[in-house]
Amino acid sequence: MNALNALIAAFRDVLLLRRGPQDLPHSQVLLAALSVLALLVGMLQAGFLVGGPVPFAQLLVQLLLLVALPALALKMAGLSPRLVQTATALVGTDIVFSVLALPVVAGFGERPADPADLQPLQLLFAFVSFALLAYLAAVKGHILRHAMDVPLRAGVLLAIAFFAIEVVIVLALFGGRSA
């Protein structure tokens, strides 16, 4: 149980920008377990986001991109040995944010056809969703900063660039539905 508590504390500190991916275990088994959990949470979240199931292939592509884009950046920088811990940090924090987004998405409810028809409570949930997304960019930037040995702003820009690339690829492959 001590190892689990230490792992939870390490992830908490990564989320609070106190520690980096180097403070997580270098474990491919942990990364695989978190990847499976991320897919399960993604399936749950996808049902809330689009009112129906998102293809499993899309969730898998999103997970692969979450790992592959930093892998490519680390390889180009000659820092490939950092991949397992970096990917573990990215996948683990992505799970936390996905779980945090569930009540926000559920509270938002059905999207009106016309944005002018948004209710005040929906605007509040939209604001909270935007705040979560901004904090997610900061956390991913923090992780990438440590992994790539770059300043925080460069890590955040890299995180935003990876997100934009993911959106373009997912839209190209699966159309307008996104999880």
Neighbours of 174 (CB within 10 A): 16
pLDDT (0 to 100) of residue 51: 52
Per-residue pLDDT tens digits for 47-105: 655 555 678 889 999 999 999 999 999 999 999 999 999 999 999 999 999 999 888 87
Per-residue pLDDT of 102-115, as tens digits, reads 888 777 777 777 77
pLDDT of residue 157: 98
Residue 179 has pLDDT above 60, yes or no: no
Q: Are the CB atoms for 46 and 127 separated by under 8 Å?
A: no
Contact between 13 and 23 (Cβ < 8 Å): yes
Give DSSP secondary structure letters for 102-151: HHHHHHH-SPPSSGGG--HHHHHHHHHHHHHHHHHHHHHHHHHHHHHT--
Q: Are 122 and 108 in contact, with CB atoms under 8 Å apart?
A: yes
Please give the structure tokens belonging to residue 119.
């209710």
Question: For the chain, what are the domain ranges?
Answer: 2-174
Cα torsion angle, 173, 35, 86, 137, sign: positive
- End-to-end, the C-alpha distance of the chain in Å comes to 33
147 pLDDT exceeds 80?
A: yes
Sequence-ordered list of residues with C-beta below 8 angstroms from that of 37, at least 6 positions apart, any chain: 95
The pLDDT value recorded for residue 171 is: 92
Q: 19 in the Ramachandran plot: left (φ > 0), alpha (ψ -120 to 50) or beta?
A: beta
Q: How far apart are CA 88 and CA 33, in angstroms?
A: 10
Can you spell out the DSSP letters for 144-178?
A: HHHHHT--HHHHHHHHHHHHHHHHHHHHHHHTT--
| Nearest CA among 75, 66, 74 for reference residue 140 | 66
